[in-house]
Every structure is written in structure tokens, then in C-alpha cells.
Structure 1
Amino acid sequence: MHISYNPLWKLLIDRGMNKKDLRELSGISTSSIAKLGKGENITTDVLLKICTALNCQISDILETITDEDVENNEIKIHQEDSNG
């Protein structure tokens, strides 16, 4: 299983916000933003700051995806890259 922050990015788009806005509103570091962008692990403290700033639940900013879904998505990306 992997964590995906795609729900967070969709939420920011829906609210007309960007990563800089999120960083300033929540008080998280640029390195935390970078980790989120790369889908890397971050602390629960950072997740809590984001949820507090956006007035949302943790399930609104992340989701779990299976290894199979990750592999299928990577295959799809590689196919699109070679076709485009």
C-alpha cells in the first residue's frame, strides 16, 4: 500500500489555492511541501497542520492506493510518454 496526496491537490484546486498558499496558511515548511509533491512520507504533525488550516478531515487530503494501482498508473504514464 502507498499513500497518495491527490485528494489534497484536488482540494487546493477546488479552493483556488496553490502550494505556496497552503504553506503560508498552514505554516509547514517548503521541504514538507516538496515531500508531499513527491508522494513521500511526512509526519502526522504536518498532516494535522494541513487539516487545521483547510478545516478538513485527513481523509480529505490523502488516500491509500494498492501497489497494483501504483504499478498500473506507472505503466499508463510510460505508455502516454511513448505515444506523445
Structure 2
Amino acid sequence: MNVDYKKLWKLLIDKDMKKTDLIPVAGISSNVLAKMNKGEFVSMESIQKVCKALECDVGDICVVNEVEEKK
């Protein structure tokens, strides 16, 4: 499985924000932002901070995609 944060990046564009603006606004670390850029999992606490800062719901910023495993 992987996480798709395209909805978050679009929401930031709609709010006229850069990705790096999220660090001070949401109170997340640069490491969390880097993981999100790579489509990696981050803690639910970090997701909650982003949602609170942007006044949105989890489904508004990310989607979990199931990836088939190679055999």
C-alpha cells in the first residue's frame, strides 16, 4: 500500500500556499513533509495537525492505494 497526497497538494494550491508553508502553519517537521512528498505513511497525529490547520478532513488530503505485490 502507498499513500497519495495529491489532494493535499491541490488544497494547498487552492489556498495559495507552498508545501513548505505547511511546516509552521500545521506545526509539523520537515521530515514529515518529506515523507508526504514521497507518498510514505506519517503518523495520525501529523495528519490531524494538517487537517486542523487547513480546516479539512483526512479524506480531503490523502488516499491510501492498494498496490499489488509482485510474485
Alignment TM class, shorter chain as reference: 0.7 to 0.9
Q: Provide TM-score, normalisation by structure 2.
A: 0.88
What's the counterpart of residue 55 of structure 1? 55
Question: In the alignment, which residue of structure 1 is the partner of 2:65?
Answer: 65
Unaligned runs of 5+ in 1: 69-84
Unmatched tracts of structure 2, length 5 or more: none
Counterpart Cα distance in 2 of 1:49 and 1:15: 17
Identity of aligned residues (%): 43
SS in 2 for 1:39: coil
- TM-score, normalization by structure 1: 0.75
Map of 1:40 onto structure 2: 40
Indicate the residue corresponding to 1:12 in structure 2: 12
How far apart in 1 are the matches of 2:64 and 2:29?
23
| Amino acid across the alignment from 1:47 | I
Q: Which residue identity is paired with 2:31? A: S
Structure number with bigger Rg: 1
Query: Tell me, what secondary structure is at the counterpart of 1:56?
Result: coil
Task: Determine which structure has the larger helix proportion and give its number.
Answer: 1
CA RMSD of aligned residues (A): 1.1
Structure number with greater CO (CA < 8 Å, separation at least 6) is 2
Per-residue CA deviations over 1:20-79 (Å, capped at 9, x if unaligned) read 2111100100000000000111000000000000000000000122326xxxxxxxxxxx
